[in-house]
Structure 1
Amino acid sequence: MNQDIISYNQNLELEDQKIVDILFQEISKNLPEAETKIWHAHPVWFLDGNPIVGYSKQKKGIRLMFWSGKSFGEAQLNVEGEKFQDASIFYNNWNKINKDDLKRWLEKSREIQWDYKNIVKRKGFLERLK
C-alpha cells in the first residue's frame, strides 16, 4: 500500500475512513496492475500513465471519480461537465457502496479510456484510446 495514500486516508474522519478503505481495497483488487499515487492532493490510480480512478473528500462526501466515466453509460455515475469525460459518485456511508457496481465500473475503466496523459500536448483536446 502506498504510504502517502495511507496518510491521506488516516487524516479523514472515521466514517470517511471506512468509505475510502473499502474503495482502496476494491480498486486495488480490481486494478492490480495500476500505479497509485497522490496526484493533485488525492489518491489516483493510473494505467500506463493515464489517470483512471481516484477519490477525494469534498463537501458532498467522498467523491469517487472515473476520468473516462462519462463513456461508461452508467446511470449511477453523475456527469457534471461537458468538456471532459469524467463522471463520479458521492458516498456518505460505507454501506452504500455497491461492490458489484464498483467492480463493473473498474472493469469499464480499463476497457474505456480517454487520453488524459497527453491532454496538455493536445492543447485540451481529449482523444479516445480504447
Structure 2
Amino acid sequence: MGLPKTSTELWHGHPVWLENDLPVVGFKAYPNFVTVLFWRGQAITDDSGKLNASGSAEMSEFKLKSVDDFNSDLFDGWLQQVRELEAA
C-alpha cells in the first residue's frame, strides 16, 4: 500500500511524507516509543480508537510502544484514507 504519490524528506528533523509539499504522515522516535503522525488524522475514521488527536490542527497520532502494537491492516486502512483525503 503505502503512499506512492508522495515525496519524503526530513521535516523539522523527522522523516515525513509530503504531497504537493504539504506533510501528510511522519514519525518521531523517542527512547521508549515511536509516534506516527497523521496531519489530517482527525478526518480519518478510526473504529479501533487507537488514533489520538494531537496538536491544535487536524493532526492525530498513534504511539507504537512495541512491535506488537503494529497492525498492518490497521495502518493500511489509515494510509488508504490519507490517500483519499489528499486526492479530494
Answer yes or no: same fold by TM over 0.5: yes
The percent of aligned pairs where both chains have the same amino acid is: 28
Give runs of ≥4 in structure 1 deviating > 2 Å. none
Larger proportion of strand: 2
Q: Which of 59, 64, 85 is the equivalent residue of 1:112?
A: 85
How far apart in 1 are the matches of 2:76 and 2:3? 10
How far apart in 2 are the matches of 1:103 and 1:50? 20
Structure 1 position 59, deviation (Å): 5.8
SS at match of 2:24: strand
The TM-score, its normalising length taken from structure 1, stands at: 0.60
AA in 2 matched with 1:70: Q
AA in 2 matched with 1:106: L
Larger proportion of helix: 1
Structure 1 position 61, deviation (Å): 1.4
Structure 1 position 80, deviation (Å): 3.0
Q: Structure 2 stretches of 5 or more lacking a match?
A: none
Contact 1:66–1:88 (CA<8 Å) still a contact in 2? yes
How far apart in 2 are the matches of 1:60 and 1:96? 13
Q: Which has the larger radius of gyration?
A: 1
Aligned equivalent of 2:40: 68
Aligned equivalent of 2:52: 78
